[in-house]
């Protein structure tokens, strides 16, 4: 069955430290993966998608098909990065998203 797993509920780091938010997926087809972010009292918004291979707000994510992972990384965390991060897999003919449980990133000053 299709599944997205984010093993950490909370990740707490100091400002300037590297960050890696883990995401693993289970899907037999070719995955379409996304990272969504939800800042405090704001809506879910797209952070990045794996096909773009872009860096948004200093974040990157690489798809590793061998390890079925799509971890989100940033070399130097900023306080404004504090938010809830969701990894999502787009699946099926209707474009529905399957979300992981989410990881709260807390960046301390």
Partner 1 sequence: EPEVTQTPSHQVTQMGQEVILRCVPISNHLYFYWYRQILGQKVEFLVSFYNNEISEKSEIFDDQFSVERPDGSNFTLKIRSTKLEDSAMYFCASSTELAGYNEQFFGPGTRLTVL
Which stretches of the chain bind partner 1, using CB under 8 A?
Answer: 32, 34, 36, 42-46, 49-52, 86, 90, 92-102
Q: Which of residues 77 and 83 has its CB atom nearest to partner 1 in the complex? A: 83
DSSP-derived secondary structure letter, 16:
T
To partner 1, the closest distance from the beta carbon of 3 in angstroms equals 10
Per-residue CA distances from 2 to 38, 71, 102 (Å): 23, 17, 16
To partner 1, the closest distance from the beta carbon of 95 in angstroms equals 4
Rounded to whole angstroms, the Cα distance separating 37 from 34 reads 10
Q: Which of residues 15 and 99 has its CB atom nearest to partner 1 in the complex? A: 99
Q: Which of residues 13 and 98 has its CB atom nearest to partner 1 in the complex? A: 98
Q: If you write DSSP's letter for every residue of 32-96 in order, what string do you get?
A: EEEEEEE-TTS--EEEEEGGG---BTTBEEEEETTTTEEEEEESS--GGG-EEEEEEEEETTTTE
To partner 1, the closest distance from the beta carbon of 16 in angstroms equals 30
Q: Which of residues 19 and 88 has its CB atom nearest to partner 1 in the complex? A: 88
To partner 1, the closest distance from the beta carbon of 79 in angstroms equals 23
């Amino acid at each position: 069955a299709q599944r997205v797993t984010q093993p950490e509920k909370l990740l707490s780091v100091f400002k300037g430290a590297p960050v890696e938010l883990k995401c693993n997926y289970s899907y037999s087809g070719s995955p379409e993966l996304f990272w969504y972010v939800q800042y405090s009292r704001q809506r879910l918004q797209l952070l990045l998608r794996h096909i773009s291979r872009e860096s948004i707000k200093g974040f990157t994510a690489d798809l590793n098909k061998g390890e079925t992972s799509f971890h989100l990384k940033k070399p130097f965390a900023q306080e404004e990065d504090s938010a809830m991060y969701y990894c999502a897999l787009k699946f099926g003919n209707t474009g529905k998203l399957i979300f992981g449980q989410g990881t709260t990133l807390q960046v301390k000053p």
